[in-house]
């Protein structure tokens, strides 16, 4: 899909949801999660090095909260990636994409907004006085 420059071993163990498999419910994982089948539920990992790949023919109906997201299938829900989002040519997204870095191939479709997220260590909070004045 994006060449073989990414190795799964950099992300830890790989979990595969194979074509023809349907999972209903939220999925919490570490490492790499590859979806060729259908997942109805949210995907979440607290590990900043985690990666979800929705492969061609794969479908996710829910939100994603992980480090890296690679999509070449369909996602109906918002994507929240703390590191990188890659949309391949067959990607179809219905939802907002929250990203720090993004790569989009020609042919990818997005019905939603792109939201640039700043790194948490670069964000400063408003003083409480300013927050109270806005209320």
Q: What is the pLDDT of residues 22-55, one digit of tens each?
A: 999 999 999 999 999 999 999 999 999 999 999 9
pLDDT for the residue numbered 118: 81
pLDDT for the residue numbered 12: 76
Is the pLDDT at 126 greater than 50? The verdict is no
The string of pLDDT tens digits covering residues 71-122 is 999 999 999 999 999 999 999 999 999 999 999 999 999 999 999 998 654 4
Res. 10 pLDDT band, cuts 50 70 90: low
Find the mean pLDDT for residues 19-24: 97
8 Å CB contact between 64 and 86: no
**Chain-wide mean pLDDT for the chain?**
86
Q: Is the dihedral of CA 39, 42, 47, 51 positive or negative?
A: positive
pTM over 0.85: no
At residue 17's C-alpha, the angle toward residues 24 and 105, to 5°, is 105
Burial of 116 (0-12, 13-18, 19+ CB in 10 A): exposed
């Amino acid at each position: 899909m994006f060449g073989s420059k990414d190795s799964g071993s950099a992300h830890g163990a790989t979990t595969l949801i194979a074509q023809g498999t349907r999972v209903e419910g939220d999925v919490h994982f570490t490492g790499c999660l590859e979806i060729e089948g259908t997942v109805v539920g949210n995907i979440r990992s607290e590990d900043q090095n985690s990666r979800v790949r929705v492969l061609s023919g794969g479908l996710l109906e829910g939100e994603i909260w992980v480090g890296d997201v690679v999509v070449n299938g369909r996602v109906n829900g918002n994507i929240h990636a703390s590191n990188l989002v890659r949309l391949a040519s067959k990607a179809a997204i219905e939802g907002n994409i929250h990203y720090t870095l993004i790569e989009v191939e020609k042919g990818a479709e997005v019905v939603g907004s792109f939201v640039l997220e700043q790194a948490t260590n670069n964000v400063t909070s408003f003083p409480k006085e300013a927050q109270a004045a806005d209320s």
